[in-house]
Homo-oligomer: A and B are copies of this chain.
Amino acid sequence: MRLFRSASTTAALIVAALLPAGATTADEGMWLFNKPPSKQLKNKYGFEPTSAWLEHLQRSCVRFGGGGSASIVSADGLVMTNHHVGHDAIEKLSTKDRNLLATGFHARTRAAELRCPDTEVQILWSIDDVTDRVNAAVKPDMPTADANTARRKQMTLIEAEQEKKTGLKAEIVTLYHGARYHLYTYKRYTDVRLVMAPEEQIAFFGGDTDNFEFPRFNLDVSFFRIYENNRPLTCEHFLPWSRSGAADGELTFVLGHPGRTQRLFTLDHLRFLRDVEVPSILRKLWRYEVILQTFAARSDENARMANGDRRSVENSRKAFSGILAGLHDHVLMKKKADDEARVRAAVDADPEHRRQWGDAWERLSKAHENYRTFYERYAALEGRRRVLRGDLLSIAQTVVRMAAEKSKPNADRLREYTDSELPSRELELYSTAPIYPALEVLRLQAGLSFLAEAFGYDDEFVRKALAGMSPRQRAMQLVGHASRLRDVAVRRELAAGGTAAIAASKDPLIRFVADVLDPEARRLRTRYEDEIESVERDCYAKIAAARFAQFGEDLYPDATFTLRLSFGPVRGCTDPDGRPIEPVTTFAGMYARMQQRGGTYPFNLPPRWTERRSKLDLDTPFNFICTADIIGGNSGSPVVNRAGEVVGLIFDGNIDSLVWDIAYDDRQGRAVAVDSRGIIEALRKIYDADALVNELLAPPPAN
């Protein structure tokens, strides 16, 4: 997998769950920085993280955009992440005549660094447990849906209070699916500039074919710089560079933002994933992949425009195929069933526990049975993978919702439009990133046709959405060349005008969103929140309590796209025929792989990699694998040694790690990283980036 969590411009539905029952074995776990795996590290590796060590690492990490991880690697705000995490920004800085994905980019002076039109980064500054304060909003005997609403309001109020107090961005994270609420406070930066990116062809050598595989040979790295007041950010906390990298067997730590795991969903919840959600997601991905591919094949410019969508779709398709294979694995599902039976038996054996928590599984089952009846519609219009997509459509949705939400008190708003989140919405809304009408039409046409295919052409909503036109005609009308929303000034004007401006607008896309799409999407969202999410929060809180009672509190919560600490040694694995796979690859291996595949796409190399081959030390370590527990969202996570020095950069997991979405298993599953030594060698010998190398290798302050 390329571990990038697809960005979502509106609220991502971040869910959390518990790890399987029993103590964690092996190197499992995506641990909270305020609840680190101290016991595990001490017992297994004799390593005791200090709070200073933890705080320094925490404040050296960066949440990048809507779905990636990164780290600060110099005192001057230099940020390292994957090329594929920076992809969106690099693409938006490209034009027909300046294709930075194809050519790569390197700013040899600070002045040459390119400001990204809508990239936001966040640094986690502090964490507080506010579980009791959040739950205090719930009155006894409140209906489940009302309790959920009350908690949501309370969360917004606490965030607002924290922001007022600190001047920083605050965000309450729901952990263990509702058992814990932690208040995360972030430093937030929106002036982010591109410093260096290699060609996509070397960043993603082997393409979709080698994605989620190992051995790998990818320079999947890019560098940005945080600016504040038009000057590079001065950073007290940043990660020094290791010149020697990590040795085979050496313990490493991965610091990043895993997006979502579903490791302790109940059995029926997993069945819902297996029979409803994942197949539905895959159907959409297969469909859109083919549509994008045929569009891209028509011309080089089409290919360039569709590049980002294609990468994202290919990656998700492989990831979800792996998850589905896990859900189709009888052995794995049997383990899940046994685990659930064990927990339920323990609860049932204690009358008080049974009274408190005993109904949670059954209530969740019923909720998901109900969810089956409207999942497709909800997922199509409001879920994270909704089918009506496109830059202009997102803009219209943001403008329409922002007007409606800003007219309400802060606590009553949709979570992604609270005062705390508005700056992020505005950054997206006023982005000057290029918008391509041909691609916009393709995306919307595909989405509209999907609705007709899925719900029938005579479905009332479909009829309204198409307004007597074919999907193509309607898409041309709404997002074709005529759309005025391409003009940022028009967006600003509409946003400034609020609900009155929306009501008065004659823009067909605004009318479509305001009159047709948004009412239906909101209706479905309310239904989801009231009938599903509220029950999940309530029941998973109970199940978590049952687990804590049975196994103790020493359990990590499922991933929530917030900062986590994983660990594990550099270690090889074996291929399906049992042959050993070495844990480290080299540049020599890359040239061999190219030759083996005849040097044709996606196994071709950028010209300078062919021309400068003889300059490289071909034995330099290039990529490596370790057992640290990661998932989509960890892309761009730094890998550090005990001294906190960068030894690598996570960019992928192997095929056996895909199932980690629902269960960690390190027999074959591995995280894949670029080696710190390979990065330096390439920067020096291929890109002549000596200044950048010097910045990376500069010694940390003496303190």
Q: Which residues of A contact B (CB under 8 A)?
A: 207-209, 271, 274-275, 279, 282-283, 285-287, 289-290, 294, 297-298, 300, 317-318, 324-325, 327-330, 449, 452-454, 456-458, 468-472, 598
Contacts and interface: CB of A to CB of B under 8 A. Distances in A.
A330 B472 CA distance: 12
Give the residue among A275, A324, A598 with the most B Cβ atoms within 10 A.
A275
A449 B324 contact: yes
Contact of A282 (B453, B457, B472): B453
Contact residues of A: prevailing secondary structure: helix
Given A208-B297, A274-B457, 6 more contacts: A271-B457, A274-B452, A283-B283, A289-B290, A330-B469, A330-B470
Contact of A449 (B275, B328, B471, B472): B328
A599 B290 CA distance: 23
A301 to B, nearest CB: 12
Contacts of A453: 275, 279, 282-283, 324
A485 to B, nearest CB: 24
A587 B318 CA distance: 41
B470 A271 contact: no
Give the residue among A274, A285, A294 with the most B Cβ atoms within 10 A.
A294
Contacts of A468: 330
Contacts of A457: 271, 274-275, 327-328
B209 A297 contact: yes
Contacts of A325: 470, 472
A327 B453 CA distance: 11
Given A457-B271, A457-B275, A328 B294 contact: no
Given A457-B271, A470-B325, A317 B290 contact: yes
12 contacts: A209-B294, A209-B298, A274-B457, A279-B453, A285-B290, A286-B287, A286-B290, A290-B317, A325-B472, A328-B452, A328-B470, A329-B470
Given A330-B468, A453-B324, A470-B328, A283 B287 contact: yes
Contact of A471 (B208, B328, B454, B456): B328
A409 B469 CA distance: 54
Nearest to A280: B453
Contacts of A287: 282-283, 286
